[in-house]
C-alpha cells in the first residue's frame, strides 16, 4: 500500500495554537462538554492543511460513539497525520494509538450511488471507552486539488448549535500566500487579525437560528471566507482551457461519426443540438468520477464515450465535442445544484460555490441550456431544468457570474384533472377519471419511479393504496412521460361514491375535489430577528380542474355553486372559477407564486388580510325547488375533456394574470 494510502503519525504542526482547557462545570449537562476544540486551516504553496484537535468530556452513554474515529482524505493530496488519540480517566492517561490501528476503507462501494471518488476513510475504534472519560484526538489532513494548483479558497464556519465548551478557529498562511478574507459581522466582532493569520475564540457559543422565512442570502452567519481569486473572471479563465482540451477529438474519433450521423438525420441546428443532448443522456450513464485528480478536471470526451459513463464534467466535454462537430457554438457553465445559490454575488469568488457544470449553446438568437446528466426526456431549453439563480460561463477571455432572473412559472408544475360522471344519479356509483400532470423535478422523480415498473405492477400498487375511501375500484391505470409537454402523466380510472349530502326536500350538495384553500400562514419573526428583511416564497404553480357530469334527473337550471375568487396575498395568486353548461359543472382552482420575495411592509399588510381570506370548500348545490339560475351566471369555463391540458397555455389563471 502506498504511503498516501496510509495514516501517518507525527507531532502537531508549529502553526497550530491549542486552546487552554476549559474547566468542566459541576452542573455540566448534555452528552458532552468540550474542554477544547481547535480547528485551523493553514495555507502554503501546496494548498491547504486542515487541523482538528479536541478534548471532550463524555457525560452520557450516547457520547461513547465518539470513540468510533474516522478520517477521510483524497490520497492525491497526501496522507493524513494523526498526532494524538488519548483517553484521560481519573488522572490516568491512556495512549490509544499504542494499542489501536486504523483500518483503511476504500470507497468504491459507493458505486451503487453512482459515485467513484477515490476518497479513502480510515477508522479506529477506541477500546474500553467509558462515560466520564475525556477523549483527546488530533489530526492534520492535506487538502489540495491538482486542477487548482496552489490557489486556495474555502470557508471556516461555526455550527449554529454546539455543545457547551471552548472553541477556537484559525486561518494562517506563509509569506506570499495571504488570501482575500471576508467575515460575517458576528465573526468580525471577535476576530483577532495578525500579519499571518486570523483567530477566533468562543466559550459556550450561543445557539444561532435561521432568520425565519428570510431568503438564503440573509442566512449567512458565523462564516469566514478566504480566496486567492481576484474575481470570477479568473476562475472562468482557469477552467475554460480544461474543457476545451477535454472536448478536442482525434482525427479518427468515433464521436465524429456520431456527429455526422446526427447531421444527416436532422437539418436544423436546434434539432441537431437536441439529438446530441439525447445521445449523451441516453448512451452514457451517469457516475460521479473523482479519481486521479478528476474532482475538478473533466475526463476527455473520447474517454467518456469509450467508457460509456461519466460525471457532469465528462458528459459536458462530450456534449461540447459533438456540438463543435455540428458547428454549434457552445460553452460550459458552472451552476449550483443545492438550491442555495441565492447571494453568490455577495461571496468571495470560489470554485467551491458551484457543484455542477452543464452546456449553454447559442442557436440563432436563443441560448439553450443542455444538461447531459439528466434523463433523455429532458430537452434543451432557454432556461435550465433546475431553477439556478447564478451561473458562471467558462470562457477563454473570462466571464463573470450571471444572474438568471426569476419569473413566475408559465406552466403549472402540477395539474390535477378530476372528472366525475354522476349521470346515473345521486345514489349510484360514479365513473371517475383522475389525470395528474406533473412537471419539473417531481415529474422527473415520477419518471424514475414509474418507468421502471410494469403497468400491471403500477396498477396493483395504486389500487392497494387508493381503494377504500373515494375509490371503490380501480379499472385502469396508465402512465407516460410526454417529452413535448415535459410532463409525467398519470391517469387513474375507476368507480367511487360521490359524497352527496342530503340537505332536505330533495336538495343535495357536495364539495368538489381540489376546490378550496387553507388560509396562508402569518409571516412574522421572533423578537430579536431583523423584522425589516424580506420574506422568501417557495416557487410553485398548481392547478385543479374538476368537472362533474350532473345526474340526468337533476335539471341544470337548479344547480348553483360557491363563489369564485381571484386573490393576491403574500406574493401568491389564489384563483377559483366555476361554470356550468352541457350538463356539467366545471371548476378551475389554481395557485401560483408571483413574487419570489415580499418586503416586510407587504407582509405586515397581508397579515391583517388573512381573516378575510376565502377558505371555503368548492361546494356545488342542487335545489329542485330553487329559483332557476340566470344564464348570465354561466361561465365559459372549460371542462376536463374540452382542451388539451398538457398544452403550454392552459386557462388556469384569470385573463389578467395568465402568462
Answer whether residue 644 is part of any domain. Answer: no
Answer whether residue 596 is part of any domain. Answer: yes
Answer whether residue 483 is part of any domain. Answer: no
- What is the rounded radius of gyration, in angstroms, for the C-alpha atoms of the chain? 31
Please name every residue paired with 376 in a beta bridge, in sequence order, or none if there are none: none
pLDDT in tens, 14-31: 999 999 999 999 999 999
Which of helix, strand or coil describes residue 498?
Answer: coil
Cell numbers for 18: 491549542
- Interacting residues of 327 by C-beta distance below 8 A, sequence separation 6+: 269
pLDDT in tens, 486-505: 999 999 999 999 999 999 99
pLDDT of residue 3: 61
Query: In the chain, pLDDT over 70 holds for what percent of residues?
Result: 94
Continuous segment of H or E residues that includes residue 198:
strand 197-203
Q: CB of 654 within 8 A of CB of 577?
A: yes
Answer whether residue 649 is part of any domain. Answer: no
Domain end among 227, 249, 272 = 227
179 and 259 together in one domain? no
- Domains: count for the chain: 3
- Interacting residues of 479 by C-beta distance below 8 A, sequence separation 6+: 446, 450, 455, 458, 488, 489, 490, 491
Domain end among 193, 227, 261 = 227
CB-hemisphere CA count at 13 Å for 201? Answer: 12
85 and 220 together in one domain? yes
424 and 365 together in one domain? no
pLDDT of residue 100: 80
Task: Using the predicted structure, report yes or no on whether residue 210 has a pLDDT greater than 70.
Answer: yes
Helices within 57-179 (DSSP H only): 96-99
Query: In the chain, pLDDT over 90 holds for what percent of residues?
Result: 85
104 and 173 together in one domain? yes
Domain end among 192, 227, 262 = 227
SS3 string, 7-50, reads CEECCCCCCCCCCCCCCCCCCCCCCEEEEEEEEEEEEECCEEEE
Q: Counting every residue, how long is the chain? A: 659
Q: CB of 227 within 8 A of CB of 153?
A: yes
Answer whether residue 658 is part of any domain. Answer: no
286 and 336 together in one domain? yes
208 and 247 together in one domain? no
Assign residue 274 the CATH number of its domain. 3.10.620.30
425 and 378 together in one domain? no
Please name every residue paired with 482 in a beta bridge, in sequence order, or none if there are none: 487
Answer whether residue 176 is part of any domain. Answer: yes
Task: Using the predicted structure, report yes or no on whether residue 565 has a pLDDT greater than 80.
Answer: yes
Which of helix, strand or coil describes residue 258?
Answer: helix
Assign residue 591 the CATH number of its domain. 2.60.120
Q: SS3 helix, strand, coil % of the chain, rounded to 5?
A: 20, 35, 45
Cell numbers for 10: 507525527
pLDDT of residue 108: 46
241 and 165 together in one domain? no
pLDDT of residue 113: 43
Answer whether residue 617 is part of any domain. Answer: yes
Q: How far apart are CA 60 and CA 438, in angstroms?
A: 48
Q: How far apart are CA 511 and CA 524, in angstroms?
A: 32
pLDDT of residue 657: 64
77 and 194 together in one domain? yes
pLDDT in tens, 506-522: 999 999 999 999 999 99
- Residue 150 binned pLDDT confidence (cut-offs 50, 70, 90): confident
Tell me the torsion sign for CA atoms 617, 618, 624, 630.
positive
> Which of 544, 467, 474 minimizes the C-alpha distance to 513?
544
pLDDT in tens, 521-563: 999 999 999 999 999 999 999 999 999 999 999 988 899 999 8
Average pLDDT over residues 63-86: 92
280 and 187 together in one domain? no
pLDDT of residue 632: 43
pLDDT of residue 290: 56
pLDDT of residue 522: 97
161 and 310 together in one domain? no
245 and 389 together in one domain? yes
Provide the edge-to-edge strand list for the sheet that holds 180-183: 153-157, 223-227, 180-183
When comparing pLDDT for 339 and 116, which is higher?
A: 339
Answer whether residue 459 is part of any domain. Answer: no
Q: Would you tell me the crossing angle of helices 232-246 and 312-325 to the nearest 10 degrees?
A: 70
Task: Using the predicted structure, report yes or no on whether residue 120 has a pLDDT greater than 90.
Answer: no
Mean pLDDT score across all residues of the chain: 92
Range of the domain at 116: 3-227
Cell numbers for 129: 471507552
Assign residue 138 the CATH number of its domain. 2.60.40.3140
Within 10 A of 627 (CB to CB), how many other CB atoms are there?
Answer: 9
- Interacting residues of 542 by C-beta distance below 8 A, sequence separation 6+: 412, 413, 414, 415, 416, 590, 591, 592
Amino acid at each position: 500500500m502506498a504511503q498516501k494510502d496510509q495514516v501517518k503519525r507525527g507531532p502537531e504542526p508549529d502553526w497550530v495554537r491549542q486552546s487552554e482547557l476549559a474547566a468542566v462545570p459541576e452542573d455540566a449537562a448534555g452528552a458532552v462538554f468540550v474542554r477544547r476544540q481547535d480547528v485551523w486551516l493553514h495555507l502554503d504553496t501546496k494548498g491547504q492543511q486542515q487541523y482538528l484537535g479536541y478534548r471532550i468530556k463524555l457525560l452520557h452513554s450516547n457520547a461513547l460513539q465518539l470513540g468510533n474515529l474516522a478520517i477521510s482524505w483524497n490520497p492525491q493530496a497526501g496522507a493524513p497525520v494523526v498526532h494524538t488519540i488519548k483517553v484521560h480517566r481519573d488522572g490516568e492517561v491512556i495512549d490509544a494509538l499504542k494499542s489501536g490501528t486504523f483500518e483503511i476503507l476504500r470507497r468504491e462501494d459507493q458505486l451503487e450511488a453512482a459515485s467513484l471518488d477515490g476518497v479513502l476513510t480510515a477508522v479506529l475504534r477506541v477500546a474500553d471507552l467509558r462515560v466520564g472519560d475525556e477523549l483527546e484526538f488530533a489530526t492534520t489532513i492535506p487538502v489540495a486539488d491538482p486542477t487548482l494548483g496552489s490557489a486556495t479558497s474555502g470557508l471556516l464556519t461555526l455550527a449554529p448549535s454546539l455543545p457547551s465548551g471552548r472553541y477556537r478557529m484559525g486561518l494562517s498562511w506563509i509569506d506570499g500566500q495571504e488570501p482575500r478574507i471576508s467575515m460575517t459581522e458576528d465573526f468580525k466582532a471577535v476576530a483577532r487579525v495578525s500579519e499571518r493569520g486570523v483567530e477566533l475564540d468562543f466559550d459556550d457559543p450561543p445557539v444561532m437560528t435561521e432568520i425565519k422565512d428570510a431568503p438564503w442570502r440573509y442566512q449567512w452567519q458565523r462564516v469566514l471566507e478566504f480566496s486567492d481569486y481576484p474575481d470570477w473572471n479568473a476562475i472562468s479563465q482557469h477552467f475554460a482551457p480544461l474543457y476545451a482540451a477535454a472536448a478536442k477529438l482525434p482525427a479518427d474519433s468515433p464521436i465524429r461519426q456520431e456527429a455526422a450521423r446526427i447531421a444527416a438525420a436532422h437539418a436544423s441546428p436546434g434539432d441537431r443540438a437536441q439529438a446530441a443532448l439525447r445521445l449523451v443522456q441516453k448512451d452514457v450513464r451517469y457516475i460521479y468520477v473523482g479519481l486521479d485528480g478528476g474532482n475538478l478536471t473533466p475526463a476527455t470526451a473520447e474517454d467518456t464515450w469509450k467508457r460509456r459513463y461519466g460525471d457532469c464534467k465528462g458528459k459536458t466535454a462530450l456534449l461540447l465535442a459533438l456540438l463543435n462537430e455540428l458547428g454549434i457554438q457552445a460553452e460550459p457553465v458552472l451552476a449550483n445544484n443545492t438550491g442555495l445559490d441565492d447571494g453568490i454575488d455577495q461571496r468571495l469568488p470560489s470554485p467551491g460555490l458551484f457543484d455542477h457544470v452543464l452546456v449553454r449553446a447559442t442557436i440563432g438568437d436563443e441560448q439553450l441550456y443542455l444538461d447531459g446528466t439528466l434523463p433523455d426526456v429532458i430537452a434543451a431549453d432557454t432556461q435550465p431544468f433546475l431553477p439556478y439563480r447564478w451561473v458562471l460561463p467558462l470562457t477563454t477571455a473570462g466571464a463573470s457570474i450571471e444572474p438568471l432572473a426569476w419569473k413566475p412559472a408559465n406552466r403549472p408544475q402540477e395539474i390535477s384533472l378530476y372528472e366525475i360522471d354522476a349521470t346515473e344519479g345521486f345514489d349510484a356509483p360514479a365513473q371517475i377519471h383522475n389525470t395528474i400532470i406533473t412537471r419539473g423535478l417531481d415529474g422527473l422523480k415520477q419518471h424514475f419511479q414509474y418507468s421502471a415498473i410494469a403497468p400491471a405492477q403500477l396498477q396493483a400498487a395504486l389500487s392497494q393504496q387508493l381503494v377504500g375511501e373515494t375509490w371503490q375500484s380501480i379499472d385502469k391505470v396508465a402512465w407516460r412521460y410526454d417529452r413535448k409537454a415535459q410532463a409525467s402523466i398519470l391517469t387513474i380510472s375507476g368507480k367511487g361514491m360521490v359524497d352527496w349530502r342530503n340537505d332536505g326536500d330533495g336538495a343535495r350538495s357536495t364539495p368538489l375535489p381540489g376546490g378550496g384553500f387553507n388560509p396562508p400562514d402569518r409571516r412574522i419573526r421572533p423578537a430579536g430577528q431583523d423584522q425589516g428583511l424580506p420574506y422568501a416564497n417557495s416557487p410553485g404553480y398548481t392547478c385543479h380542474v374538476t368537472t362533474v357530469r350532473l345526474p340526468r334527473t337533476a335539471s341544470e337550471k337548479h344547480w348553483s355553486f360557491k363563489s369564485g375568487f381571484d386573490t393576491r396575498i403574500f406574493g401568491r395568486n389564489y384563483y377559483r372559477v366555476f361554470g356550468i353548461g352541457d350538463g356539467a359543472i366545471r371548476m378551475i382552482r389554481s395557485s401560483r407564486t408571483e413574487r419570489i420575495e415580499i418586503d416586510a411592509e407587504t407582509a405586515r399588510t397581508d397579515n391583517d388580510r388573512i381573516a378575510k381570506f376565502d377558505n371555503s370548500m368548492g361546494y356545488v348545490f342542487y335545489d329542485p325547488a330553487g329559483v332557476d339560475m340566470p344564464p348570465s351566471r354561466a361561465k365559459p369555463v372549460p371542462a376536463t375533456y374540452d382542451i388539451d391540458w398538457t398544452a403550454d397555455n392552459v386557462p388556469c389563471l384569470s385573463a389578467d394574470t395568465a402568462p
